[in-house]
C-alpha cells in the first residue's frame, strides 16, 4: 500500500516539474548578494539560486548562517512513546473511540492514538519532567529502552485495563523518546538580503503536545508561496508574513503549555493554576483560512 509520503513525492514530481534530490546534505552558505545565494553541500558541490529556504528542523544548519550562536532551549519535558499492535488493547467496550487521552491528576496522562492507514497499530505515550542532559547523557537516555518501557508501564493500572494491556508487550525497536525543545524568538526569519528564509521548526519549533508542528510548517509555506508570487514589496511582505505567523505560533505555544500541564502529574504544593475543568476554544486554530488571509493582505497593497 503506498504511503502518504510516497503519494506526496509523486505529486511533487509531477506538478510543475518540481524535482526532489536525495543525499544532498546542506553544509553552509558560501555567499549572498541582493539577488542570489550560493551554498555548499557536504560533498563539496555548490549551488546557486535566487532563494534558499531552510526547512531543516530545530537543529537547522541553514539557521546557523543567520544565527550562528543560537541554541534550542529545553522545556524540561520529554515524551516517551511506543508503537504497539491495536490487537493488544483490552478495550472498555467494542465501540470505544480513539484517539484518547486518559487523565489522572496525580499521575498525568496516558495517550493512545491509532496510526497506519488501516489502524492496525497505535501510538501510546506519556510525558515526564526531567532536567536537560548533555549530548552523551541524551544518547544514554535514548539507548536505555528498558527504562523507557518501565516508565510507560509505571502506574498503568491507574489508567485502566486498556493502558495495562497496551504496555504488556512493547518492542524495543518501536520506542521513541522526544525531548521537547523550542527555539528562542527570532528577530527575523530572513537574512539581511532576504535570499535566505526559514520556515517550520527552523524558526519556530513547536513541541508535539498540540500536534501542530507539521501543520504550522505547511501554513508557513502556503502563505509564503502566495506572497512570493503575488506580493509587491519583498521587505514589507516578509515582515507581514513573519508577524502574522509569529502571533499564531505564540498562541500555539500557550496552548501547548496548557496541554502539557494536563498531561503531567500536578506538583505537590505548586501554585500552578488548574484549568482541567475548562474546555478548549480552538476555532482560532482550526477555523483559519491562511490563503484568504494572504489574499486579503495582497489586495490591500
Reported as a single tens digit per residue, the pLDDT across 190-210 is 999 999 999 999 999 988 888
Q: What is the pLDDT of residue 263?
A: 86
Instruction: Tell me how far the alpha carbon of residue 11 is from its chain's centroid.
Output: 23
Whether residue 93 is contained in a domain is answered as yes
Check whether 35 has a pLDDT greater than 60: yes
Taking residues 36-41, what's their average pLDDT? 98
pLDDT category at 165 given cuts 50, 70, 90 is very high
pTM score: 0.85
Q: What is the pLDDT of residue 4?
A: 72
Whether residue 33 is contained in a domain is answered as no
How many residues are given for the chain? 301
Check whether 3 has a pLDDT greater than 70: no
Q: What is the pLDDT of residue 275?
A: 58
Tell me which of 4-8, 20-24, 180-184, 250-254 is least confident: 4-8
Whether residue 90 is contained in a domain is answered as yes
| CATH number of the domain to which 82 belongs | 3.30.9.30
Taking CA atoms, 201 is separated from 33, 51, 62, 113, 185, in Å, by: 25, 18, 12, 23, 12
Whether residue 46 is contained in a domain is answered as no
Whether residue 166 is contained in a domain is answered as yes
Q: What is the pLDDT of residue 1?
A: 44
Whether residue 149 is contained in a domain is answered as yes
Check whether 49 has a pLDDT greater than 50: yes
Task: Calculate Rg over the CA atoms of the chain.
Answer: 22
* Domains held by the chain: number: 1
Q: What is the pLDDT of residue 124?
A: 98
Q: Which residue has the cell 506526496?
A: 8
Taking residues 211-224, what's their average pLDDT? 93
Tell me which of 16-30, 131-145, 183-197 is least confident: 16-30
Whether residue 148 is contained in a domain is answered as yes
Q: What percentage of the chain exceeds 90 in pLDDT?
A: 75
Q: What is the pLDDT of residue 211?
A: 83
**For residue 94, what are the domain limits?**
74-181
Whether residue 62 is contained in a domain is answered as no
Taking residues 176-184, what's their average pLDDT? 94
pLDDT category at 2 given cuts 50, 70, 90 is low
Q: What is the pLDDT of residues 258-299, one digit of tens each?
A: 988 888 887 765 555 555 556 678 899 999 999 999 999 999
Amino acid at each position: 500500500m503506498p504511503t502518504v509520503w510516497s503519494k506526496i513525492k509523486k505529486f511533487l514530481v509531477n506538478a510543475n516539474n518540481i524535482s526532489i534530490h536525495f543525499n544532498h546534505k546542506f553544509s553552509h552558505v558560501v555567499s549572498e548578494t541582493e539577488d542570489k545565494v550560493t551554498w555548499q553541500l557536504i560533498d563539496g558541490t555548490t549551488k546557486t539560486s535566487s532563494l534558499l529556504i531552510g526547512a531543516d528542523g530545530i537543529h537547522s544548519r541553514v539557521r546557523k548562517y543567520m544565527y550562528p550562536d543560537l541554541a534550542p532551549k529545553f522545556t524540561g519535558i520529554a515524551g516517551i512513546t511506543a508503537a504497539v499492535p491495536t490487537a493488544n488493547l483490552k478495550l472498555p467496550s467494542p465501540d470505544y473511540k480513539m484517539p484518547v487521552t486518559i487523565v489522572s491528576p496525580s499521575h498525568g496522562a496516558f495517550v493512545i492514538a491509532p496510526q497506519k492507514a488501516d489502524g492496525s497499530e497505535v501510538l501510546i505515550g506519556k510525558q515526564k519532567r526531567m532536567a536537560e542532559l548533555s549530548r552523551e547523557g541524551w544518547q544514554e537516555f535514548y539507548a536505555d529502552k528498558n527504562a523507557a518501557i518501565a516508565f510507560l508501564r509505571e502506574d498503568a493500572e491507574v489508567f485502566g485495563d486498556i493502558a495495562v494491556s497496551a504496555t504488556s508487550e512493547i518492542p524495543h525497536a518501536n520506542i521513541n523518546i522526544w525531548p521537547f525543545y523550542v527555539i528562542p524568538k527570532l528577530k527575523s526569519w530572513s537574512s539581511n538580503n532576504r535570499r535566505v528564509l526559514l520556515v517550520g521548526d527552523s524558526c519556530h519549533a513547536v513541541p508535539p503536545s498540540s500536534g501542530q508542528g507539521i501543520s504550522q510548517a505547511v501554513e508557513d509555506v502556503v502563505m509564503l508561496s502566495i506572497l512570493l508570487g503575488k506580493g509587491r514589496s519583498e521587505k514589507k511582505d516578509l515582515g507581514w508574513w513573519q508577524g502574522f505567523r509569529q502571533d499564531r505560533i505564540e498562541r500555539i505555544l500557550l496552548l501547548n503549555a496548557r496541554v502539557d500541564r494536563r498531561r503531567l502529574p500536578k506538583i505537590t504544593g505548586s501554585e500552578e493554576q488548574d484549568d482541567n475543568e475548562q474546555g478548549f476554544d480552538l476555532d482560532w486554530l482550526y477555523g483559519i483560512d491562511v490563503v484568504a488571509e494572504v489574499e486579503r493582505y495582497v489586495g490591500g497593497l
